[in-house]
């Protein structure tokens, strides 16, 4: 090869790598000896498939076709809030990790995950009732992970192989039943008689071997009695259960029956995974502007720590009608003498497979951060446990 050809060849290689390569930092850079960084691309589900890159589109371009609660969120985040008023609620929750839904009669259902506390809140008189609290008896909550509503019923996914059901047909929701599953349950999505859970096998049992040697899955379709009908979405491949727990336990599953689609996302993964309702893998999509963080695991002491670095995480996802998935992205940013947190709100449109930016919240110091929850009747602001209601 002549020198000129070599130069030109190198030039085109540089152009190709700069356009197609990842701008993420090397996960091994600066890591201490004896540690491994996670997640690693080769251990994530469907690592043999190239993710489709999603562009973050302007929400205004699809505003007229979007549901009311997303419009309300967009207005609030972009300062178009003339006439909006907020009311401080009389109940306090422990932190930002919660679920919130509204019932048709002006009632909020609040789920304080950290405190294992299920609350029914009356927006008319601002009185509230604890429907369930921590305990080990029927109707009690322990190691709760997520609340999901389906018509007039509430479903609470818990570690310890249980899903509790509350019936809200009367004025006050009441405990109905608990059914068992073979898994620690971390997320649940249900429609009619179809249940999808994100569930991991418990530590120290035969069903929890090294996924490098056996097939293990994180998403399971159940019947109404908890029997497993189908499993899909491979777990993160690492022999240590604690690593798999860190990578998979904070994920969410959402079912869209009209399109017969299931979405799966994980806090520390920069992807949305898309399956049909039979569990067949369709595609994975890379989240735009996602800054990867890492969990460093010591292979000798079998302990791990989250690396101190700026990073993004998928805080939660919520089904908004049969066409929309709301994705809340938490961004941690280091500044002089403090760390700041900003939440971005992405809207994934299932029919077109396009991502839209509903809005970005302000950056707040880590001890003052807030998160916004959408409901059918308004927005709920959680500012370090103090709740504010903004009706539509």
Q: Show the domains of the chain with their CATH numbers.
A: 38-391 (2.120.10.30)
Residue 299: strand, helix, or coil: coil
Parallel, antiparallel or unpaired: strands 56-58 and 354-360:
parallel
Task: Measure the CA–CA gap between 329 and 270, rounded to whole angstroms.
Answer: 10
- For 11, list phi and psi in degrees, rounded to 5: -60, -45
The per-residue pLDDT for range 264-296, each reduced to its tens digit, is 999 999 999 999 999 999 999 999 999 999 999
Paired tokens of 297: 């695991």
Per-residue model confidence (pLDDT) at position 21: 39
Q: Could you give the C-alpha distances from 176 to 78, 132, 166, 228, in angstroms and in order?
A: 42, 12, 5, 21
Give me the sign of the Cα torsion angle 344, 350, 355, 359: negative
Per-residue model confidence (pLDDT) at position 246: 95
Stretches where the chain sits below pLDDT 50 are 1-22
Paired tokens of 309: 């670095």
Per-residue model confidence (pLDDT) at position 17: 36
Paired tokens of 195: 């249940």
Q: Cα torsion at 195, 197, 201, 202 (round to 10°)? A: -100
With tokens 């999505």, the residue in question is 189
Per-residue model confidence (pLDDT) at position 277: 96
Contact 34, 298 (CB under 8 A): yes
Beta strands of 54-193 (E only): which ranges?
56-58, 87-92, 98-103, 107-112, 117-122, 128-132, 144-150, 153-158, 162-167, 174-180, 184-191
Q: Could you give the C-alpha distances from 26 to 73, 264, 313, in angstroms and in order?
A: 36, 25, 18
Q: Could you give the C-alpha distances from 9 to 4, 12, 19, 310, in angstroms and in order?
A: 9, 5, 16, 36
Predicted TM-score of the model (pTM): 0.91
Task: Measure the CA–CA gap between 131 and 110, rounded to whole angstroms.
Answer: 10
Listing DSSP states for 71-91 in one string gives HHHHHHHTT--TT---EEEEE
The per-residue pLDDT for range 211-270, each reduced to its tens digit, is 766 789 999 999 988 899 999 999 999 999 999 999 999 999 999 999 999 999 999 999
Listing DSSP states for 291-337 in one string gives ----EEEETTTTEEEE--S-EEEEEEEEEETTTEEEEEEEEEEEETT
Among 105, 107, 109, smallest CA distance to 123 is for 107
Per-residue model confidence (pLDDT) at position 203: 66
């Amino acid at each position: 090869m002549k020198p000129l050809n070599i130069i030109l060849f190198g030039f085109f290689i540089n152009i190709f790598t700069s356009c197609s390569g990842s701008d993420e930092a090397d996960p091994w850079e600066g890591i201490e000896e004896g540690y491994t960084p996670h997640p690693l691309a080769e251990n994530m589900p469907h690592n043999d498939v190239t993710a489709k890159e999603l562009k973050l589109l302007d929400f205004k371009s699809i505003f007229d076709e979007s549901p009311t609660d997303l419009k309300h969120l967009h207005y609030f985040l972009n300062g178009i809030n003339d006439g909006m008023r907020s009311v401080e609620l009389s109940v306090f929750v422990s932190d930002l990790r919660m679920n919130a839904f509204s019932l048709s009669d002006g009632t909020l259902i609040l789920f304080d995950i950290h405190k294992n506390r299920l609350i029914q809140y009356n927006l008319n008189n601002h009185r509230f009732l604890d429907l369930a609290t921590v305990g080990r008896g029927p109707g009690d909550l322990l190691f709760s992970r997520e609340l999901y509503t389906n018509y007039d019923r509430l479903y609470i996914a818990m570690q310890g192989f249980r899903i509790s059901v509350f019936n809200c047909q009367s004025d006050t929701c009441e405990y109905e039943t608990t059914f068992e599953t073979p898994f620690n349950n971390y997320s649940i999505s249900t429609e009619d008689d179809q249940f999808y859970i994100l569930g991991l096998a418990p530590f120290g049992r035969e069903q929890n071997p090294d996924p490098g040697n056996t097939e293990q899955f994180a998403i399971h379709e159940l019947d109404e009695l908890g029997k497993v009908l189908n499993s899909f979405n491979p777990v993160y491949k690492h022999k240590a259960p604690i690593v798999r727990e860190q990578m998979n336990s904070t994920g969410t599953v959402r079912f869209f029956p009209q399109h017969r689609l299931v979405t799966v996302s994980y806090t520390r993964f920069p992807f949305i995974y898309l399956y049909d309702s039979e569990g067949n893998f369709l595609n994975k999509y890379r989240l735009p502007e996602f800054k990867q963080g890492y969990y460093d695991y010591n292979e000798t002491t079998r302990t791990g720590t989250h690396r101190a670095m700026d990073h993004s995480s998928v805080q939660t996802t919520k089904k908004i009608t049969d066409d929309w998935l709301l994705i809340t992205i938490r961004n941690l940013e280091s500044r002089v003498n403090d760390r700041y947190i900003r939440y971005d709100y992405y809207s994934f449109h299932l029919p077109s497979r396009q991502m839209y930016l509903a809005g970005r919240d302000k950056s707040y110091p880590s001890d003052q951060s807030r998160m916004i929850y959408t409901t059918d009747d308004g927005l709920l602001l959680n500012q370090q446990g103090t709740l504010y209601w903004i009706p539509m």
